[in-house]
Chains A and B, each alone.
Chain A
Amino acid sequence: MDSSRTEVSRVGEMASSPRLAVALALGWLIPGAGHLVLGKRKRAAAFFLIILATLVAGTMLDGELYRTVGAPLATLATLAAAGVGAPYFVLLHLLGYTGSLESAGYEYGKAFILTAGLMNILLLLDVFDIGRGRKT
């Protein structure tokens, strides 16, 4: 027996790799969808509502939607905002939303939008843990 490997204790059911991959992909595209694929319906609905509400609050405040890639911090911020998945691309490409610099809520809205993206990225880690049986 290989003693250098640490056995991870499992508390839940393990999902198959393809199912987990689908859960992660859908989870990124639509907040909460990853949990839905893994059968956590109530949690999926709660996360969907919370993340969408955060994003909507950010857009109502005319917060900046990061879209530039180049400077390190701007690239990280763009990745964070894009973490919210499909809603990011709908806002940017279908609705032409970028935020309004003249709005009083520009900086505050930006914080809400970035938070929504980061929430969804963190959710993907939760989906991964549930899929691997480390969480229920």
Chain B
Amino acid sequence: MDISHFQLMLAYAFLLSAYFAVLWRRERRNQLKLFAQIFIGLVGGGIVVAWAMYPFPSGPPAPFP
């Protein structure tokens, strides 16, 4: 499966946001609002953490191809 890390992060954030939006809210409008908040929080948070980690070395390569 040829998919980038960022696309995987988007897919994961989408599924998790949808899950918690349906679990924690009952009205459609509130569900959409919570979905957007969680999705933006996860993706935005991931980008912020990635930027914060940028100066650090990435370490040795994984031991398998």
Contact = CB atoms under 8 A, between A and B. Distances in A.
Interface of A: 43, 46-47, 50-51, 53-54, 57, 60-62, 101-102, 105, 108, 111-112, 115, 119, 122-123, 126, 136
Interface stretch (B11-19, B36-44, B45-53): B11-19
B1 A47 contact: no
Given A46-B22, A47-B22, A50-B22, A57 B65 contact: no
Given A57-B11, A105-B1, A111-B12, A119 B19 contact: yes
A62 B65 CA distance: 15
Interface residues on B, range: 10 to 19
A120 to B, nearest CB: 10
Contacts of A136: 26
17 contacts: A46-B18, A46-B22, A47-B19, A47-B23, A50-B15, A50-B19, A54-B15, A57-B11, A61-B1, A61-B8, A108-B5, A111-B12, A112-B15, A115-B12, A115-B15, A119-B19, A123-B23
